[in-house]
Amino acid sequence: MDTRVESDSIGSMEIPSDAYYGVQTLRAKQNFYITGLQMNSRFINSLAQIKKAAAVTNRDAGNLDENIAEAIICVCDEIIAGKWHDQFIVDPIQGGAGTSANMNANEVIANRAIELLHGVKGDYSLVHPNDHVNMSQSTNDVFPTAAKLTVLSQIPRILFQLNRLKEALNEKGNEFDGIVKMGRTQLQDAVPIRLGQSFRAYASVVERDRKRLEKAEKEMQSVNMGGTAVGTAINVSPVYLKNIAENISRLSGVKVQQAQDLIDATQNLDGFVSVSNSLKTCAVNLSKMANDLRLLSSGPKAGIAEINLPAKQNGSSIMPGKVNPVIPEVVTQVAFNIIGNDMAITMAAEAGQMELNAFEPVLFYNLFESLTTLENAVTTFVDNCVSGITANESRCKELLGQSVGIATALCPYIGYKKSAEIAKQALRTGRHVEEIALEDGLLTKQSLDNILNPNTMTQPRM
């Protein structure tokens, strides 16, 4: 294998001659073999968007040669289009607060720009990773800003899928509105409820999750670009400082603005915690819903079986005909993972010291995973489960008729104590509540028909 030699402050290393990355990237690759994975592809694109905006801004400020700037811009466009991602070889979990990721981008862009300017890779006299590609920047403003661009590119996708889920649940709410079933509290019979009401309640919590995530999204729009090392804007021209955030917005299509306090924005990661918390809360709600659907569809012969979930795959390698609720199961597993990620994100944000948080890499790794898995979980939940749910109306009616929970409706008329006696007698004898109340002469049949009408019990009295 042909190689070239590159040097940094640590020493010299042999680099594959066809590689676009350089010595600092390869050293990081050797130091940080942690997950064995590549950095998030959207994050790589976000780095390229920032480098492009920086080149434009430095060129316009008169600090970067126009030919070099154009070469850098061209390479960034190539990366954004999906090229050269294989050259980003640094593990997403890395020491150094993201310096390795930033230098990976700087070296790839520099070497490809050198190539476009008819030079030889590694000849940094033409385009230098630090002096040109990283001009007016620090890892400490590039890395978190790239993370925010990545989050801002993913949240709309989740919001879209959550809206689809809300609409699917509301459709089922309308479809099932005329079906009365027994409500349950603590897995015990409670009072009647319409199946449609249950599904509309699910839609309501999804809408609340959407609003919560939209609010957290706004926190991601404040970036510390221009602050460089600690937020004091060292080595930054006034023109660059004034225009970099606006150029990032214009060139990336993602709306951001420069933080009012760049020092604060450089050292604190609470905005990411807010996003993670919103994702976690949403995941908790989705898992609760998934658990309900598994219980309501349990059986199909020896369980509740009030609803049917779409059959998606064989459920057993030994039991013929068994079909499991695999989609709700995977939604709940995603929730477990997001909850765990949220804890890692919380601890990483808390562990920052003084003017910088060194633990951004693990925070971003977990946050990107939560964003991706939540989007995918909601997508499969809508497409492979919720949209295909059907109701067993006869089963709902059967279980409703067997329950003594309707005795609750008698309390305003005959009191709690007498209602409880009727409920106990119904349980002991298997007779219906209405039959016992009528036999005791407590109320007329006409009154009982009205009071114990299941539909009447599912809405406020007029």
CATH number at residue 432: 1.10.40.30
Q: In which band, very low, low, confident or very high, does the pLDDT at 33 lie, cut at 50, 70 and 90?
A: very high
Residues 375 and 433 placed together within one structural domain of the fold: no
Of 372, 394, 416, at which residue does a domain stop?
394
Asked whether residue 315 carries a pLDDT value surpassing 80, the answer given is no
230 within some domain: no
Residues 125 and 94 in one domain: yes
CATH number of 205's domain = 1.20.200.10
Please check whether residues 103 and 201 belong to one and the same domain. Answer: no
pLDDT at position 102: 98
416 shares its domain with 336: no
Are 72 and 176 within one domain?
no
Task: Note whether 374 and 158 are within 8 A (CB).
Answer: yes
Question: pLDDT-derived band of residue 220, with 50, 70 and 90 as boundaries?
Answer: very high
- Contact yes or no for 132/95 (Cβ under 8 A): no
Per residue in 334-391, pLDDT tens?
Answer: 999 999 999 999 999 999 999 999 999 999 999 999 999 999 999 999 999 999 999 9
Q: How many CA atoms lie within 13 A of 165 on its CB side?
A: 33
- Choosing from 110, 135, 160, the residue where a domain stops is 135
Task: Kindly tell me if the per-residue pLDDT of 459 is higher than 90.
Answer: no
Q: Tell me, yes or no, whether 288 lies in a domain.
A: yes
Is 246 a domain residue?
no
- Confidence band (pLDDT; 50, 70, 90) for 128? very high
Query: Does some domain include residue 172?
Result: yes
Query: Per the domain annotation, does 129 fall within a domain?
Result: yes
Q: Is residue 122 part of a domain?
A: yes
316 is catalytic: yes
Q: Is the pLDDT of residue 134 over 80?
A: yes
312 and 196, same structural domain? yes
User: Is residue 327 a part of any domain in this protein?
Assistant: yes
Same structural domain, 90 and 212: no
- Show which of 135, 151, 169 is a domain's final residue: 135
Could you tell me the sign of the dihedral formed by the alpha carbons of 120, 6, 54, 215, in that order?
positive
Tokens representing residue 29 in the block: 């690759």
Asked whether residue 220 falls in the same domain as residue 83, the answer is no
Please report, rounded to a whole number, the percentage of residues in the chain having pLDDT higher than 90: 83
Q: Are 25 and 89 in contact (CB under 8 A)?
A: yes
Q: Which of 7, 41, 316, 447 is catalytic?
A: 316
Burial track 94-118 (b if 16+ CB lie within 10 A, e otherwise): bebbbbbbbbbbbbbbbbbbbbbee
Domain match, 193 and 307 both: yes
On the question of pLDDT at 276 being above 80, the answer is yes
Residues 80, 14, single domain; the answer is: yes
Provide the 3-class DSSP secondary structure of residue 57. Answer: helix
Domain count for the chain, please give it. 3
Residue 181's pLDDT is what?
96
The band of 68, judged by pLDDT with boundaries at 50, 70 and 90, is very high
Same structural domain for residues 187 and 79? no
450: containing domain: 407-457
**Model pTM?**
0.93
pLDDT at 320: 82
Rounded to an integer, the average pLDDT of 392-407 is 91
Return the CATH number at 129: 1.10.275.10
Within this chain, do residues 176 and 193 fall inside the same structural domain, yes or no? yes
**369 is a domain residue:** yes
* Cα-to-chain-centroid distance, residue 349: 18
